Structure 1
Amino acid sequence: MFVDMVTARHYEERLQEEYLEGKQPAFDISAGPIPGELHLAAGQEAAAVGVCQHLRDDDTVTAPHRPHHVAIAKGVDLKRMTAEVFGRETGLGKGKGGHMHLFDPEVNFACSGIIAEGCPPAVGAGLAAKKRNSDSVAVAYLGEGAIDQGAFLESLNLAAVQNLPVVFVIEDNDWAISMPKERVTDVQDGSQRADGFEMPGIRVDTDDAVAVYDAAAEAVGRARDRNGPTVMEVQVHRRMGHFMGDPESYRPEEDQEAAAERDSIERLAADLRAHGVENVTIEELREKGHERVEEAIKWAKDQPQPDPEGAYEDMWVNPPSGVTDSEPDFDLAGGDD
């Protein structure tokens, strides 16, 4: 857990450096080695590792637009994910999806840039597991600003009605983009959304990886034992802007300082020391995480740029206008006719 958390934190810090190259002093979102938007999750690592430690490769995880820490905890290929962030041909999506649209079928991970839209696919994965008589589970991550979205509430309803093995993990970083959560929703504890669907709700009030691990053991265990879904909220802290280039002029300085002081990684390091782990071992683990990141970034930057002609590949193309008699190259009915 410590190595994954350190890896995720260093990953975000290094991506920030790479992203800002060429974009300063006047911010130009199209410039630099990583053009476009970038949403980083420094400060939210505990919510990822505490849950994903209980998961297997055949369990499904969906993440929101701030996905890297969850992807790392789930075991997504770090090199290919980084190549995707840099828009390279060997990326998870051949450089076409970018950092908000990562997909790794080897470990059943996907994410979406649309708010709360990872919830319906997670429920679908839970329904598939139920129909296959499998004990795999699904976990949907979302932010506290997404708990009023229809996609989330409809997913809670179907998961409850069908008694599906799904855990909904709300990462509460206090800010729905630029709005404090109390201005956009009617509950301070997002896990209370479970009450309307007669399912358990759990809140972890600190970004303590061990506390998250313990709470997730209950939620994931319930799902794996076919005892239904759970809503779980974890208090985390956003150490960076909503997106890179966000001036955060809306955010009080004391809130930023408080977020910087509450460090889940150092809390876990203290727990390790309390259990007899030597400082030298902790630093070796930290270095291991840093090395993983540096190796992935170097590999990704050495990868080829996509061929522009590849933009027309891996697409669903409707039949040309006026063509009505084209035959599909697959059998929708699954028969021999």
Structure 2
Amino acid sequence: MAARDGGEGDPGADRVALYRDMLLIRRFEEKAGQLYGMGLIGGFCHLCIGQEAVVTGMEAAARAGDHRITSYRSHGHMLAAGLDPRAIMAELLGRETGASRGRGGSMHVFDPERRFWGGHGIVGAQVPIGAGLALAEKMRGTNNATFIYFGDAAADQGQVAETYALAARLSLPVVFVIENNSYPPGTGLSAAKGPQLIDRAKAYGLPVRTVDGMDVLAVRDLAEEIVLPVRAGKGPVAVEAKTYRYRGHSMADPAKYRTRAEASRVRETRDPIDTLRARLLETGHADADRLRAIDREVKEAVNAAAEAARGDAEPAVETLGRHVYAEAAS
């Protein structure tokens, strides 16, 4: 998790930490894509290359005790929440050493210790579950927040609207984060046919904000601002982070509904990592040698995680029924 800017902290160090966090997500996803192409990752695999700034910026405002829950495009969220890259990589490869002991794969990873509750394969299913986590915190009287991440396609789901209504009525400590990457599965059409995505939350009485999801500093600053009233019991807030994914919806999606020129243009002009890198160099918070060293360290860490995971054992067949359901005394 990145250090927070402001206060008595070092802004330069904080921004370098944000850069490192985004770069870790990018390099991890690139390696995951490579391993999927080699046939080492089974099932579906959804990469968040291009979207790194959203979760990195939001997590900069999180603290111990907060919950986070997301969709199947979850690798970056796991890393931002502090899960061990080796444990995540082992999970993708279906190894016993994985974060969910190889049972969850790419789409269904949980880590209760870090209050990361998935990774959900059903579009929008994580939203009402996240509200339940927030309700529990409200009943306990804590000031912990729950960050619920979902995409623009999920924003069309009825259960999301119902959760908006419930969260507003009960003043739940929720930050709804819509990661709007503009492209629902397999189509170039926007998911929003009627009111804008953020207006749907507004209709239920939620305060709403929009942010450039390709600018990690903008996301971080907004997150730190909006989470304070949420912790103070003022109720939920909804954020639409306008971002962009460079790859298809999943590794099985060739993304033929958009041109290569479009993706290249976004990467050249709005890439979140390149943008922050340029700022660090311009402000003198880091020089080129240091940033190259960070990239080298991150690549080495990701490669080491992948190699270690490849050498780990798969779950024994006789144990596949374990760790799936809670075991209760008879």
Task: Extract unaligned runs of 5+ from structure 2.
Answer: 1-17
TM-score normalised according to structure 2 size: 0.89
Q: Does 1:128 align with 2:136?
A: yes
Structure 1 letter corresponding to 2:266: A
Task: Extract unaligned runs of 5+ from structure 1.
Answer: 22-31, 319-327, 331-337
Q: Does 1:287 align with 2:304?
A: no
The structure that has the greater radius of gyration is 1
Which position in structure 2 is the counterpart of 1:272? Answer: 280
Name the CA shift for 1:112/1:252 in 2 (closer, same or farther; >3 Å).
same
Name the CA shift for 1:289/1:274 in 2 (closer, same or farther; >3 Å).
same
- Number of residues paired by the alignment? 310
Instruction: Give the Cα–Cα distance (whole angstroms) in 1 for the partners of residues 161 and 33 of structure 2.
Output: 33
Instruction: Give the Cα–Cα distance (whole angstroms) in 2 for the partners of residues 269 and 239 of structure 1.
Output: 19
Give, in angstroms, the shift of residue 57 of structure 1.
Answer: 3.3
1:205-249 deviations in Å (ceiling 9; x for gaps): 351000011111122222112211111011111111111132222
Name the CA shift for 1:305/1:173 in 2 (closer, same or farther; >3 Å).
same
Q: Does 1:50 align with 2:57?
A: yes
Name the CA shift for 1:149/1:2 in 2 (closer, same or farther; >3 Å).
same
Instruction: Give the Cα–Cα distance (whole angstroms) in 1 for the partners of residues 200 and 299 of structure 2.
Output: 38
Structure 2 letter corresponding to 1:94: R
Name the CA shift for 1:111/1:317 in 2 (closer, same or farther; >3 Å).
closer
Which position in structure 2 is the counterpart of 1:197? Answer: 204
Q: Does 1:74 align with 2:77?
A: no
Give, in angstroms, the shift of residue 259 of structure 1.
Answer: 3.2
Which position in structure 2 is the counterpart of 1:13? Answer: 30
Q: Does 1:314 align with 2:323?
A: yes
SS in 2 for 1:202: strand
Which position in structure 2 is the counterpart of 1:146? Answer: 154
Alpha-carbon RMSD across the aligned residues, in angstroms, is: 1.8
Instruction: Give the Cα–Cα distance (whole angstroms) in 2 for the partners of residues 128 and 306 of structure 1.
Output: 33
Q: Does 1:157 align with 2:165?
A: yes
Correspondence list, 1:1-337, <5 A: 1-21=18-38, 32-109=39-116, 110-182=118-190, 184-187=192-195, 189-261=196-268, 262-276=270-284, 277-316=286-325, 329=329
1:1-44 deviations in Å (ceiling 9; x for gaps): 111100000111111111101xxxxxxxxxx2112211111000
Give, in angstroms, the shift of residue 56 of structure 1.
Answer: 1.9
Instruction: Give the Cα–Cα distance (whole angstroms) in 1 for the partners of residues 24 and 326 of structure 2.
Output: 39
CA contact (8 A) 1:148 1:185 kept: no
Instruction: Give the Cα–Cα distance (whole angstroms) in 1 for the partners of residues 22 and 324 of structure 2.
Output: 36
Which position in structure 1 is the counterpart of 2:5? Answer: none
Instruction: Give the Cα–Cα distance (whole angstroms) in 1 for the partners of residues 199 and 323 of structure 2.
Output: 41
Give, in angstroms, the shift of residue 287 of structure 1.
Answer: 2.3
More displaced 10-residue stretch of structure 1: 242-251 or 192-201: 242-251
Instruction: Give the Cα–Cα distance (whole angstroms) in 2 for the partners of residues 257 and 315 of structure 1.
Output: 42
User: Taking every aligned residue pair, what percent have the same amino acid on both sides?
Assistant: 34
Instruction: Give the Cα–Cα distance (whole angstroms) in 2 for the partners of residues 192 and 180 of structure 1.
Output: 22
Instruction: Give the Cα–Cα distance (whole angstroms) in 2 for the partners of residues 145 and 124 of structure 1.
Output: 22
1:189-218 deviations in Å (ceiling 9; x for gaps): 422222111111111135100001111112
Instruction: Give the Cα–Cα distance (whole angstroms) in 1 for the partners of residues 324 and 49 of structure 2.
Output: 34
Structure 1 letter corresponding to 2:329: D
SS in 2 for 1:312: coil
CA contact (8 A) 2:51 2:213 kept: no
Instruction: Give the Cα–Cα distance (whole angstroms) in 2 for the partners of residues 267 and 281 of structure 1.
Output: 16
CA contact (8 A) 1:169 1:231 kept: yes
CA contact (8 A) 1:3 1:288 kept: no
CA contact (8 A) 2:177 2:241 kept: yes
Structure 1 letter corresponding to 2:129: P
Instruction: Give the Cα–Cα distance (whole angstroms) in 1 for the partners of residues 147 and 47 of structure 2.
Output: 20
CA contact (8 A) 1:57 1:106 kept: no
Which position in structure 2 is the counterpart of 1:28? Answer: none
